[in-house]
Structures are given as C-alpha cells and as structure tokens.
Structure 1
Amino acid sequence: MPATLITFLMALAFCAVHVFVGRLHWLDRTPRSKWLSFAGGVAVGYVFLHIMPELGAHAGTFERATGLPAQLAEALVYTLSLAGLALFYGLERALSASRDTRKQAEGRDRPHHPVFWLHIAASALLMVMIAYLLNHREDQTPAGLVLFFAAMMLHFVTADFGTRTHHPEIYDARGRWVLAGATLVGWLLGVLVGLPQIAIGGLFAFVAGGIVLLVLKEELPEERKSYFLPFLGGVVLYAALVLGEQWSVA
C-alpha cells in the first residue's frame, strides 16, 4: 500500500476522533475513566521516548543549516518547544478564567464564545502541523509511523474530550468540524508542500511543546481523580513497544 494512502487513512482516523468523541459517553464520569488515564500514560510515554530524542535530532539539523554552535542551535529548538507550551498554557488559563467569570456573572459554566473559538483556532493550527508531520517525520520507518499514529490517536481522545467539556454545544455544532478540516488540510499540505528540514524541525519543536502541556494538563490535575495503575500501564506498554522496535533495528 502506498505510504501516502496509509497516512491519509491515519488522517481520517484523526478526523473520526474529532467528530465522534462526543459519543464516547462512557468517558464522561468522575472519577476519571481508566481508559483516559491509560491514554494519558501512552501520551506521556510518547513525550519522553519520541519527542525528546527527536528534538535532539532536530537540534543537529538546526546546527547544520544555520552554522550556529551546537549548544545555541539546541537552545533554539527547545525555545520553540517552550513557546508551544507557553501558548497552550496561556490558552488553557484564558479558558478557565473566562469560564469562572461567566459562571459568577451569569451562572453558566461555559467560557465566553470568543475565548473558546480562540482555543479551537489554536488547536486547529496544532492539528495542521501534526497532520503535516505524518508525511515528514524524522523517523520514517513503518514501526515509527505506527507508534506515532497510536500515541496521537490516544492523545486526541483525551485532548478533544477535555476541549469539549468546556463548551459541548459549540464543539458539537462547529468546533469538531473545524478540527477535522484542519487535519485534512495539514495532511494535504504534507503531500503537496515540502518544507526545508530546518522548518520541519521548527514545526516539530513547537508541536512538541503544545503536546507536552496538553498531556500533563489532561492527566495531572487533582480534581480529575486520575487512576495511577492504568496510567502506569499506558507508560509501560508504550515503552515496551518502543524498546522492542529499537531492539529489532539494532
């Protein structure tokens, strides 16, 4: 099967998560669903076993492309990652503050519409980048692509579920279609537009920071009453798969 068709099917699967996450009613309960904690564990495993090493690889790309000293090139890559984390942290804080303000003023447990749409727009931008990277990743092996796809699928379940809880009416009416459309746009750009390696490295670094923040935001807050053992199971399973892949290649 052609690689482009495989990544297109993966992009469609991402779209399915955006569109149908609202139907996963068994996830919407307190204490937090064990499956969400498991998905969070897999996503954390992805952060440490794929994102961190790939950031190091992209630092080498920055060094070769710019001629900068190795330490400065590495610092630039991690600064881009920090920018992604800071952007999504700011958006999450804005959502929370808007939700609290509206609850006190109107008795509605919803953020103001412009704030929620700003969050959707940022999430759509992140989706464009992630879908683009389906066709332009540092690790181009089939196993690496499958692990990336699996980790992102589970991450989108937790991230979309969290986004939808802020304003399910807007998310179900229009927000989910914006995210699905952004996914297909990103995949199409990945097929039609080939960026320089330094630009791809910058995209990945920015995406990495956003993913790190969203993973930790969804799994760690105390009020969510997360389950440790399913979370640990997700971490261990993903680590075992990655180590198995590396062992087979060695």
Structure 2
Amino acid sequence: MENYVSVWPVLVLAFIHCFGTKLRFLAGVPRSIWLSGAGGVSVAYVFLHLFPELGEGQKYVEKFNWAEKSLGHHVYLMALVGLSVFYGLERAVVTVKREQMHKTREKEPETPAGIFWLHIGSFAIYNALIGYILFQREEGPTQALLLFSIAMALYFLINDFSLTEYHQQHYTKFGRWVLVLALVAGWATGFIVELPKTVIVLVMAFVGGGVILNVLKEELPEERESRYWAFVLGAFLYAILLLSL
C-alpha cells in the first residue's frame, strides 16, 4: 500500500460527483449517446470482468461451513440482492413522485425529504463499498484497478444525472456531497479495517448487481428515447478491450 495508487481513482470519482452534472450537453431527451455508451461500458465490465472474478472468489465463500450447502456455486445470489435492493428503491421513488404529481398537479414535484434521504443514504452506502473496493484493489494488478475505475467513473456519471433528475436542487446542494464523503470514507476505511476475502467477494457481487439495475433502468424507459446503438457500441468496444488484456 506504499504508493496509495487508488487515491487517484478516488479523486476522479469524487470529481465526477462534484462537477459531472455541469456537463449540460449530456442532459435532456433524447438520451445522450455518451450516457448510453457509458452504460454499455459499465455493464460490459460487470459481465466480462467482475462476474468472472466472483466465480473465482466462490472458494472463499464456501469456507463458511453454513454456506457450503446453501451458497455453493451461488455467490451471484448477492448480485441478485444488489439488483433487488436498487429495484425496490427505484420503485419507491417513482411511486412517491407519481403520488405527489396527482396531489400537486405539478409536472416535477419535489421529492419528500424522507424518500430523498433514503435514496441518497442507500447510494452513500453503495459508494462507501465502491471506495473500499478501490482501496482493496491496490493489492492486485494496476490494470485491474484501472479497468474497475473507468467502469465506475462512467457509472457515477450516469447516476449523477439520474439523481439530479429525481431530486433536482436537493441533489446538487446536498446529495452529491454526501456521496463524495461516503466514497472517501469507504476508501479511508481500508486503512483501518481489513475485511475477509469472503466479505470482499460478496461486496463486489452486490455492487455488480446494483450497476446492472441502475444502468438498465436509465436505458429502458421509452420516454428517454435512449440510443440503443450507442449502448451496444460502448459495451462492444469495452468488451474487446477486456477480452484482449
């Protein structure tokens, strides 16, 4: 850990949260080809790099006696948990905003404080996990850290525009700073706490499931007029890069 290589990815990801939404050309409808392409890159990374790592990490999970039968060959169960958690959050936010629209007749009603903090708090925990993974990846090849950082940087950009759309000025004034602090706190925790390999594998699985859900929920709604070709191109090009290394 002498070189603290991961400090640079952490700073880049924090910078994206601070200033990413100022890239106004990425906002609006139809969906920016750059955001669709970024989504393709993030999903390609999860399927072609992160999930194969989880397969290799299954041996750590199986060291738990209680997990040998219930979780044998199913480390991906945690990925399903991650996907399900963020799907639930998405449904909660959408449902509440729809109810607010009916009550206030406003096109873009303000998100209730409770839902806002639940949403931001969940993403803060998620960011902390990603920060810890960045620190942990210093132990491996620099290439693995770089590939993970690129995928997460593009994924953070997608999330920033999504959260800004949901929460508007509440996100730009408060939410993004909470996410920055959570990211740095998660990374800094690596200096104090060394989690078992089993826990790290499960954390990565949870993150992978969250990435898939959060990317696809931004691409699928018809009203966004997403650029399918840009998504596929981003996924294809990053897949070529991953498979060539």
| Normalised TM-score (structure 1) | 0.91
Tell me if structure 1 keeps the 8 A contact 2:41–2:238. Answer: yes
CA–CA distance in structure 2, aligned partners of residues 47 and 138 of structure 1: 19
Tell me if structure 1 keeps the 8 A contact 2:82–2:210. Answer: yes
**Structure 1 65/139 Cα, relative in aligned 2: closer, same or farther at 3 Å?**
farther
1:78 equivalent in structure 2? 76
1:134 equivalent in structure 2? 134
CA–CA distance in structure 2, aligned partners of residues 139 and 214 of structure 1: 28
1:146 equivalent in structure 2? 146
Tell me if structure 1 keeps the 8 A contact 2:137–2:144. Answer: no
Aligned-pair identity in percent equals: 41
Equivalent residue of 1:73, what SS? coil
The one-letter amino acid paired with 1:239 is A
The one-letter amino acid paired with 1:18 is H
Equivalent residue of 1:74, what SS? coil
The one-letter amino acid paired with 1:81 is A
Could you tell which deviates more after superposition, 13-22 or 126-135? 13-22
Residue 2 (structure 1) shift: 4.8
Residue 67 (structure 1) shift: 7.4
Deviations for 1:30-56, whole angstroms, at most 9, x for unmatched residues? 110110111011011112112221221
2:203 equivalent in structure 1? 203
| Normalised TM-score (structure 2) | 0.92
Matched residue pairs, number?
A: 243
1:61 equivalent in structure 2? 60
**Structure 1 124/170 Cα, relative in aligned 2: closer, same or farther at 3 Å?**
same
2:34 equivalent in structure 1? 35
1:161 equivalent in structure 2? 161
- Counterpart check, 1:92 vs 2:90: yes
- Counterpart check, 1:51 vs 2:19: no
CA–CA distance in structure 2, aligned partners of residues 228 and 202 of structure 1: 31
Deviations for 1:129-181, whole angstroms, at most 9, x for unmatched residues? 00100122498211111111001000110111111101111001111100000
1:229-240 maps to which residues of 2 (within 5 A)? 229-240=229-240
**Structure 1 169/11 Cα, relative in aligned 2: closer, same or farther at 3 Å?**
same
CA–CA distance in structure 2, aligned partners of residues 68 and 124 of structure 1: 28
Deviations for 1:93-139, whole angstroms, at most 9, x for unmatched residues? 01101111111111332322211210000000000000100122498
Deviations for 1:193-244, whole angstroms, at most 9, x for unmatched residues? 1111111112112222211211211222222111122212211111111112
